Each structure stands twice: as structure tokens, then as C-alpha cells.
Amino acid sequence: VKKQKGVFGGERFRHIYPNGDQVEYIVVVFECEITSGKLKSIDGESLKLQYFSFSEKPTLALPYPVNIFL
């Protein structure tokens, strides 16, 4: 971990799932440097893991400020 990029939460990070469940996320974003290893799920919860360049990143469900990716 190189540094903390931000902590986000509040009304903009509330989400209602199709089944009616409501959540409010508190997200801590860190800038990290990958030095070795293989990208893999450690608990089987994730079906697919993938790296994206800034220009190729998919639309995110939560409103992260763009500057955290720069």
C-alpha cells in the first residue's frame, strides 16, 4: 500500500438492490503497487478478477470521484 486516496460514504453511496435490500457503503480507497503474485480470488466469492486501464474501466455502480483513478 502506497497511500490512502480517500474515504467515501453518505447518501451518494446508498444502494437499493432489486429485492428491496438497502445498504449504505463506506469505501476506503488505497493506492497500491503490485510487485508480484497472481490475481485470484481467495474465498471463491468473486467469479472474475481483471485489471483495467483508466480509459478502459467499466462504469462503476457507485459515484467514485474520477481523480482517485489518476
Q: Are 59 and 69 in contact (CB under 8 A)?
A: no
As a whole-number percent, the residues of the chain with pLDDT over 90 amount to 21
Which pTM does this prediction carry? 0.61
Q: Taking the CB of residue 6, how many other CB atoms lie within 10 A of it?
A: 13
As a whole-number percent, the residues of the chain with pLDDT over 70 amount to 100
pLDDT of residue 7: 93
pLDDT for residue 19 is more than 90: yes
Q: What is the pLDDT of residues 25-52, one digit of tens each?
A: 998 989 888 888 888 888 888 888 888 8
pLDDT of residue 54: 82
Domain ranges of the chain: 1-34
